[in-house]
Amino acid sequence: MNLPNKLTLARLAMPLAIMPCLLITFPFSKTAALALFGLASLTDWLDGHIARKKNLVTDFGKLMDPLADKILVCSILICFAALYYVDGNHVRIVAPWMVVAIVSRDLVVTGLRMAGISRGAVLGAHAIGKHKTAWQMIAIVTTLVYLILYYDLQLTGTYMDYFRLGAHILFWFVSILTIISGIYYLIKYKHFYLENV
């Protein structure tokens, strides 16, 4: 197994370390979660960079690299949803419906990509999908920073309420953008699932 694929497998295991940091409170647990998320993001960049530079692109990597990314992001979002009802209103940032919308969109697009592959077509990433991913990463990091300030540094006050509200609004934006992105893919590639109806 080559280095890029090993990095992909390492990223697949990252949620097993990140999720306890998010769901269990211990000294600097949320800081550890952000550090691990950063490390996972670094492996994502590294495996792609090395695979392209050294011509180590494999079918395994093509399949598992995006899957590892989705598992990582979905695991973090599920933890955020679990924290939604914890500790009064202080961590009400990511509502469960937002996670359902984001995960459902990813499942739909993955299904469309598989349908495309079965017909010899490749569904490339479109601008709206790239924007969705970028804003999703920004929202995740913003929420992790809030959790660090609240849990690890135990900061409170009106400014923290505004921070929480801002992060919540950011996830509203991400959720709506994700839904629009999913609808775009469904319309653009409708021939993949309507041709035999």
User: Tell me: the pLDDT tens digits for 40-63?
Assistant: 999 888 888 888 888 877 777 777
Contact 146, 114 (CB under 8 A): no
pLDDT at 58: 77
Say which amino acid occupies 124. Answer: G
At residue 177, does pLDDT exceed 90? yes
pLDDT at 80: 95
103 occurs within a structural domain: yes
**Residue 51 structure tokens:** 């695979």
pLDDT in tens, 68-107: 888 999 999 999 999 987 765 667 899 999 999 999 998 8
Q: Is residue 197 a part of any domain in this protein?
A: no
Identify the pLDDT of residue 73. Answer: 93
3-state secondary structure 2-66: CHHHHHHHHHHHHHHHHHHHHHCCCCCHHHHHHHHHHHHHHHHHHHHHHHHHCCCCCHHHHHHHH
Among 138, 146, 197, 145, smallest CA distance to 173 is for 138
**For 132-140, what is the mean pLDDT?**
93
In a domain, 98, yes or no: yes
Return all residues near 120 (Cβ < 8 A) that are at least 6 apart: none
- Is residue 147 over pLDDT 80? yes
- Whole-angstrom Cα distance, residue 179 to residue 84? 21
* 165 lies in some domain: yes
The CA distances from residue 158 to 18, 50, 79, 86, 90, in Å, are 29, 46, 25, 19, 11
Contacts of residue 25, defined as CB under 8 A and 6 or more positions apart, other chains included, come to 151
Q: Identify whether 24 is part of a domain.
A: yes
Please count the structural domains in the chain: 1
Rounded mean pLDDT of 115-138? 81
Mention every residue, 6+ apart, whose C-beta is less than 8 A from residue 177. Answer: 128, 131, 132, 135
- What CATH number is given to the structural domain containing 90? 1.20.120.1760
pLDDT of residue 124: 67
Q: Tell me, yes or no, whether 57 lies in a domain.
A: yes
Domain with 169 in it: 3-192
Are residues 33 and 48 in contact, defined by beta-carbon separation less than 8 angstroms?
Answer: no
pLDDT top residue among 31 and 44: 31
Let me know if residue 49 belongs to a domain: yes
- Asked whether residue 187 is assigned to any structural domain, the reply reads yes
Q: Is the pLDDT of residue 30 over 60?
A: yes
